[in-house]
């Protein structure tokens, strides 16, 4: 059960990372400023 939860968390993190990346590209200036 814990392994399933870990996989679930990992998928959620991947989705969040993709959303953050898209937001950075969409915003542009802030994304480049952070990097």
pLDDT per residue of the chain (35 residues) written in tens, 0 to 9: 567 777 778 888 888 888 777 776 666 655 555 55
**Other C-beta atoms lying within 10 Å of the C-beta of residue 17:** 10
Domain count, the chain: 1
d(CA 27, CA 31): 7
Confidence at residue 20, expressed as pLDDT on a 0 to 100 scale: 76
d(CA 24, CA 22): 5
Confidence at residue 26, expressed as pLDDT on a 0 to 100 scale: 64
Contacts of 25 by beta carbon, 8 Å cutoff, 6+ apart: 31
Question: Residue 18's domain spans which residues?
Answer: 2-34
Rg (CA), the chain: 14
Confidence at residue 27, expressed as pLDDT on a 0 to 100 scale: 61
CA atoms within 13 A on the CB side of 11: 6
């Amino acid at each position: 059960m814990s392994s399933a939860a870990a996989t679930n968390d990992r998928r959620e993190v991947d989705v969040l990372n993709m959303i953050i990346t898209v937001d950075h590209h969409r915003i542009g200036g802030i994304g480049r400023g952070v990097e």
